[in-house]
């Protein structure tokens, strides 16, 4: 019976200290996860902006006028003349 009286307050204090340490640990973990989420959101914004800029660049580069200009300048493409057009007809059975 004496041992129960001695260990009762000790166990109560140990339980309270453990509970407080658990609360502190959970708050620290919550803050750490908040920083991780903040960093990931920032990275997502950067990647979204980069994707949008790349889409705009692709749209500019694939304009028909620009493609035609590059083909004439770099690939020696010439304008089509009427005598160069070949008409292919399907053969009738």
Residue 22 lies in a domain: yes
Is residue 78 situated within a structural domain?
no
Q: Is 30 within the bounds of a domain? A: yes
Give 55's pLDDT tier (boundaries 50, 70, 90): very high
* Structural domain count, the chain: 1
Asked if residue 21 is part of any domain, the answer here is yes
Reported as half-sphere exposure (CB side, CA atoms, 13 A), residue 44 has a value of: 6
pTM above 0.75, yes or no: no
**Percentage, residues of the chain above pLDDT 70:** 92
Domain of residue 36 covers: 2-62
């Amino acid at each position: 019976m004496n041992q129960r009286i001695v260990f009762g307050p000790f166990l109560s204090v140990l339980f309270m200290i453990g509970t407080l340490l658990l609360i502190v640990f959970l708050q620290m973990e919550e803050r750490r996860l908040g920083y991780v989420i903040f960093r990931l959101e920032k990275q997502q914004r950067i990647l979204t902006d980069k994707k949008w800029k790349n889409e705009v660049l692709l749209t500019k580069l694939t304009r028909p006028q620009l493609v035609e200009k590059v083909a004439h300048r770099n690939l020696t493409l010439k304008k089509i003349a009427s005598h160069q057009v070949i008409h292919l007809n399907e053969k009738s059975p």
